[in-house]
Chain A
């Protein structure tokens, strides 16, 4: 009986040949343009995306991306597909084994476990990543992604995969990039279809002349190239970290850092609070939550029906704990302040030249090091010692 029952159950929840579409973004644009996305258009989008990027079992790299050398086919094949291993113990289906239960098969951040985790797992499809060495708005480097996978994020559900062989971590980091590129292209196509085309107009019209079809395909090709290039160039955008001046007075640096922390220019106090407990502004949301307008309860219900998780306000870091999600090395803290944190209300610092007049608004590199010193001095001290 058990066997019969089992065979009847087989196939439930099987991973589809195609990635699930980005329904949440579609709903957002439907609301914005007050025009429904017809099922025919949704089907065309899905087919186009599958032609370009393949499916969860057999990912494909579009020619525009391949020419940039962004992906290693061997890693991509190992990260995709169902879980297993070959006779030599070489793993397959790495993403489904390690990541999909939280991040979802398409990297939408809505895996089965997502709801019980706080913060929610990252939705890769926006191409936005918090902890990286590149400026705000730029893509993370491969090294940024692999570092997060290897070290995990303390205090969250993101585990460290230190036990995995280096190549498996590389393969996972690359698959995250693949899902991001795919997700961004999908968003771009939804944007294009919703903003540029009539509701009944296909993205690629098979009945159009060859010239028209070539133009339509060029739009897609340009979109893919733009997204892929933004990833390619991330390696050259890494923010350099020049070490602080040697022989500086650390106590003076901490005092200056505190002044900046509480002052109007850095204005860290706004969110992190005067005592740096993360108790300042606590009603803001991150960009992933803002995708669905957290203040509109009617729209929210529609978004949640389309697969979004209910938005939760973002919690500014309690800096007195001395535990930092993006890494606690001085250069990590420097970059967090210098670049800000993508997708969150944490802004990039307004940088001014070293010899600017004092009246110029902004922070110098030395000022950032002072802030790093101040923040590093907070753990283990009582609130009253350093509150204003």
Chain B
């Protein structure tokens, strides 16, 4: 068994780092891309450029940079968002090309092609939002962005030679440890990632609420957003406590800790977003701080906090997806290393 483990480690050590590096770069471009997309929503700049894929008749890449940089703020945001989208597309193409060249694993190749298809579809969705001037499409575009970012982060983890070689090494080093990873944890992290995504979709619904919608849609979305926030806080607390009690692999500690910290920040940002957008809830009406508070529409504080809330939400989603993916990887590696016997409830 030790020989087989060494072989796996050696194989992973020989993996080219370039697909991983490109996946990281793609993730690094995608995060500002979706954050600026969030700013586009906060400033209602989605229709600042009425044509697509051109920008005011110019080829997107040939639009005069002086007009872009020193022109109106909403044009700066929207055109900048599009340019970053192009950059993300180029990185996705590079990732596919390099992966096909250096990585013979079929799943890795398919995963990178999927990233390219996703980024192209997301660009098309953004274009459709502009051409049809449709707020529901803007919402959909806003929901796909963070999902794509989480996918890129997960892909980078899967393509990481260090993590891939670390998994069997870790398991080898802890071969006498009780098997901690089980189906429950795998399902729990999957459910957590799904709940975080639902939370993000509900948030996008609140941000992109159509002006013709009845109050019921906003009320329902808000209620579900708040209920889900409580559920997610409890879930992450449970995961954190499991980690502390040693029921979760310690190798997941960085990502789970990051998720917990980000969630704490996100809760504060959520409350602040509401206050800077709609004022203090009426329960505080008799307090001087609430009575004297005036909402400042489109101020840097309002747009900045709302965008940050959306951006941190995307980071949490990525952390949740990463937790699930790494849990799966550890579980699979553990199974590979386990003695060849049937163990109930194990992933094949």
Contact = CB atoms under 8 A, between A and B. Distances in A.
B180 interface: no
A100 B211 CA distance: 6
Interface in B23-68: 44-48, 50, 56
Contacts of B292: 154-155, 321, 323
B75 interface: yes
A89 B78 CA distance: 12
Given A112-B210, A155-B279, A309 B47 contact: no
A113 B295 contact: no
**How many A residues are at the interface, by size bracket?**
35 or more
Contact of A10 (B73, B75, B132): B132
Interface string B271-293: 00000001110100110101111
Contacts of A318: 286, 291
Interface stretch (B87-95, B215-223, B237-245): B215-223
Contacts of B212: 13-16, 105
Contacts of A240: none
Contacts of B293: 154-155
Interface in B189-221: 209-215, 217-219
Nearest to B282: A118
Contact of A111 (B71, B134, B211, B286): B211
B97 to A, nearest CB: 24
B294 A160 contact: yes
Contacts of A307: 214
A159 B215 contact: no
B231 interface: no
Given A2-B122, A96-B211, A112 B296 contact: no
B294 A153 contact: yes
Contacts of A157: 278-279, 295
Interface residues of B, number: 55
Contacts of B69: none
| Residue from B56, B72, B222, B295 having most chain A Cβ neighbours under 10 A | B295
B74 A85 contact: yes
Nearest to A5: B140
A162 interface: yes
A163 B74 CA distance: 14
B141 A6 contact: yes
Interface string B250-284: 00000000000000000000000000001110100
B137 A112 contact: no
Contact of B209 (A16, A104, A112, A161): A112
Contact of B121 (A2, A16, A100): A2
Describe A's contact surface by its main secondary structure: loop
Interface in A312-357: 315, 318, 321-323
B249 interface: no
Contact of B291 (A13, A115, A321): A321
B217 A151 contact: no
Contacts of B278: 113, 116-117, 157
B297 interface: yes
A84 B128 CA distance: 15
Contact of A9 (B47, B133, B136): B136
Contact of B47 (A2, A5, A83): A83
A87 interface: yes
A112 B72 contact: no
Contacts of A82: 47, 133
Contacts of B17: none
A158 B277 CA distance: 9
20 contacts: A6-B141, A7-B128, A10-B128, A13-B210, A13-B212, A14-B134, A14-B212, A16-B212, A82-B47, A82-B133, A85-B45, A100-B211, A101-B209, A105-B211, A112-B210, A116-B218, A116-B222, A117-B278, A157-B279, A159-B296
Interface of A: 1-3, 5-7, 9-16, 82-85, 87-89, 96-98, 100-101, 104-105, 110-118, 151-164, 277, 307, 309, 315, 318, 321-323
